[in-house]
């Protein structure tokens, strides 16, 4: 029998419990505005291309003017951000939030594309009969799905749509949160502390494997940050020194005792973190980054996946119980006794209540028009023939949702 590695299972056969994980790892790139997320995406993208492992790339920032990489799925193809702002009288942040909410309603399509691609990436990586050693190595290494997120970090991390996207992705693929830090702008202990607190809040919110990436190390090496994380006394010394040299510039003196205490609290948090330094500009630190991503993926398999399976099983159990209860209630309402005294309700009638999709829904109702669909650019040869609005560059119309409400045409 062939080894499992040399013959990856088709994803179809993977359905169900204990299924093999897809080989692609999703990296959700999050970070403060201007920390270098998009440049980081560009660097990782070109690094992976150079290793013959092209990633699947998603842009979730509707407001970005210029993308320095080719995205497979771009939110701007689906939602027209300037039009959303205009239609709803929103400011830039409200516009981004609403655009992301609209896009999230289509995220099932995105997942479909991502899963398809994860499968096809696997089949591309199936070894040819006589693989050269370099290709063998490439084929056995997992490939990646990359997500760039909006500049305003809280729009993604604290919105319902951000959670939905993160959870949906994490239940489909091994997922790692990559938190980008602007190293030169975090050399002041107070800024460092706020950044770490933010990272901590995201870690506990998503519970996903987490990776701190100190970016822009070409401008400021990240050694100081690693030292502060390893030894809180070093951080406290730096705090004292900063107070001596900068006075009240970073805040009133009583802040120091708060930060001293916080450094003790965060000590525990740091123990569970992986941290690497990179320069998205020069490409320095990419190998260490991918070693850390691989470790984070193993953590996903070890800790997150079993937990997810438990939650999914529990949800299924509840759903079954609810279904059984509805049937009992339905039988009672229709005066159907289990002893069969009354006339039996035909099974087809009951099926209507159990599974709406089985209730003779007309497939022909599906529209041929692909308005509002998420576009996988790499799978559409006619992408540039679509109307400009569908490519996020023209004015939008409106669409009516099932509840009758009008929304800007995504």
Ligand X SMILES: Nc1nc2c(ncn2[C@@H]2O[C@H](COP(=O)(O)OP(=O)(O)OP(=O)(O)O)[C@@H](O)[C@H]2O)c(=O)[nH]1
The 10 Å Cβ neighbour count of residue 331 is: 15
Q: Are strands 406-408 and 398-400 parallel, antiparallel or unpaired?
A: antiparallel
Interactions with ligand X, residue window 104-163 (CB under 6 A)? 151
Pick between residue 153 and residue 273 the one whose CB is nearest to Mg ion. Answer: 153
Q: Rule CB under 6 A: is residue 39 a binding residue for ligand X?
A: yes
At 56 the three-state DSSP class reads: strand
Tokens linked to 46: 């070109």
Stretch that binds ligand X, among 32-40, 76-84, 324-332, 345-353 (CB under 6 A): 32-40
Q: Rule CB under 6 A: is residue 31 a binding residue for ligand X?
A: yes
* Least distance CB 25 / ligand X (angstroms): 21
* Least distance CB 282 / ligand X (angstroms): 7
Pick between residue 15 and residue 66 the one whose CB is nearest to ligand X. Answer: 66
Report the C-alpha gap between 120 and 219 in whole angstroms.
Answer: 39
Please, which contacts does 313-321 make with residues 24 or more away whose CB atoms are closer than 8 Å? none
Residues 6+ apart with CB under 8 A from 294: 25, 142
Question: Considering only residues 6, 33, 134, 160, which one is a binding residue for ligand X as defined by CB under 6 A?
Answer: 33
Report the C-alpha gap between 47 and 55 in whole angstroms.
Answer: 10
45: partner contacted, choices ligand X, Mg ion, none (Cβ within 5-8 A by kind): none
Pick between residue 38 and residue 159 the one whose CB is nearest to Mg ion. Answer: 38
281: partner contacted, choices Mg ion, ligand X, none (Cβ within 5-8 A by kind): ligand X
> Total binding residues for ligand X by CB under 6 A?
17
Residues 6+ apart with CB under 8 A from 327: 350, 353, 354
Interactions with ligand X, residue window 168-197 (CB under 6 A)? none
Stretch that binds ligand X, among 29-37, 52-60, 104-112, 128-136 (CB under 6 A): 29-37
Q: Rule CB under 6 A: is residue 358 a binding residue for ligand X?
A: no
Residue 329's Cβ-count burial label (10 Å; 0-12, 13-18, 19+) is: exposed
280: partner contacted, choices Mg ion, ligand X, none (Cβ within 5-8 A by kind): ligand X
The binding track of 18-37 with respect to Mg ion, each residue x by CB under 5 A or -, is -------------------x
Report the C-alpha gap between 303 and 89 in whole angstroms.
Answer: 44
CA 300 and chain centroid, separation: 14
Q: Are strands 73-74 and 25-31 parallel, antiparallel or unpaired?
A: unpaired
Report the C-alpha gap between 155 and 60 in whole angstroms.
Answer: 11
Interactions with ligand X, residue window 53-72 (CB under 6 A)? 61
Stretch that binds ligand X, among 121-129, 161-169, 246-254, 276-284 (CB under 6 A): 276-284
* Least distance CB 210 / ligand X (angstroms): 18
Interactions with Mg ion, residue window 34-73 (CB under 5 A)? 37-38
Tokens linked to 410: 């995504």
274: partner contacted, choices ligand X, Mg ion, none (Cβ within 5-8 A by kind): none
DSSP annotation of 302 reads I
Interactions with ligand X, residue window 215-234 (CB under 6 A)? 215-216, 218-219
Report the C-alpha gap between 20 and 400 in whole angstroms.
Answer: 40
Tokens linked to 382: 């006619």
Pick between residue 156 and residue 235 the one whose CB is nearest to Mg ion. Answer: 156
* Interacting residue ranges for Mg ion, rule: CB under 5 A: 37-38
């Amino acid at each position: 029998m062939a080894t499992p590695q040399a013959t990856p299972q088709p994803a179809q056969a993977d359905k169900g419990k204990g299924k093999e994980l897809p080989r692609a790892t999703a990296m959700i790139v999050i970070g403060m505005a201007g920390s270098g997320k998009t440049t980081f995406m560009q660097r990782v993208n070109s690094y992976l291309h150079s290793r013959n492992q092209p990633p699947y790339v998603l842009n979730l920032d509707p407001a970005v003017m210029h993308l320095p990489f080719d995205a497979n799925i771009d939110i701007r193809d689906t939602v027209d951000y300037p039009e959303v702002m205009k239609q709803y009288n929103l400011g830039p942040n409200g516009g981004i939030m609403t655009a992301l909410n609209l896009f999230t309603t289509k995220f099932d399509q995105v997942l479909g594309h991502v899963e398809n691609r994860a499968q096809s990436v696997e089949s591309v990586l199936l070894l040819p009969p006589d693989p050269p050693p370099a290709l063998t190595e490439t084929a056995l290494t997992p490939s990646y799905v990359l997500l760039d997120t909006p500049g305003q970090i809280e729009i993604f991390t604290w919105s319902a749509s951000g959670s939905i996207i993160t959870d949906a992705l994490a239940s489909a693929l091994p997922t790692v949160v990559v938190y980008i830090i602007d190293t030169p702008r975090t050399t002041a202990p107070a800024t460092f502390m706020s950044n770490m607190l933010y990272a901590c809040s995201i870690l506990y919110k998503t519970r996903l494997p987490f990776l701190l990436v100190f970016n822009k190390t070409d401008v400021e090496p990240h050694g100081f940050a690693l030292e502060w994380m390893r030894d809180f006394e070093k951080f406290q010394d730096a705090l004292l020194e900063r107070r001596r040299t900068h006075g009240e510039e970073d805040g009133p003196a009583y802040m120091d005792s708060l930060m001293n205490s916080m450094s003790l609290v965060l000590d525990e948090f740091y123990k569970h973190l992986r941290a690497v330094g990179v320069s998205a500009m020069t490409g320095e630190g990419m190998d260490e980054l991918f070693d850390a991503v691989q470790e984070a993926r193993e953590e996903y398999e070890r800790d997150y996946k079993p937990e997810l399976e438990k939650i999914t099983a529990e949800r299924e159990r509840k759903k079954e119980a609810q279904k059984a209860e509805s049937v009992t209630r339905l039988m009672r309402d229709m005066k159907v006794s289990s002893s069969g005294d009354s006339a039996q309700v035909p099974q087809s009638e009951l099926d209507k209540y159990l599974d709406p999709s089985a209730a003779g829904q007309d497939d022909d109702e599906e529209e041929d028009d692909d308005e509002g669909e998420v576009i996988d650019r790499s799978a559409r040869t006619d992408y540039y023939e679509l109307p400009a609005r569908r490519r996020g560059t023209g004015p939008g119309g409106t669409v009516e949702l099932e509840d009758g409400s009008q929304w800007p045409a995504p």
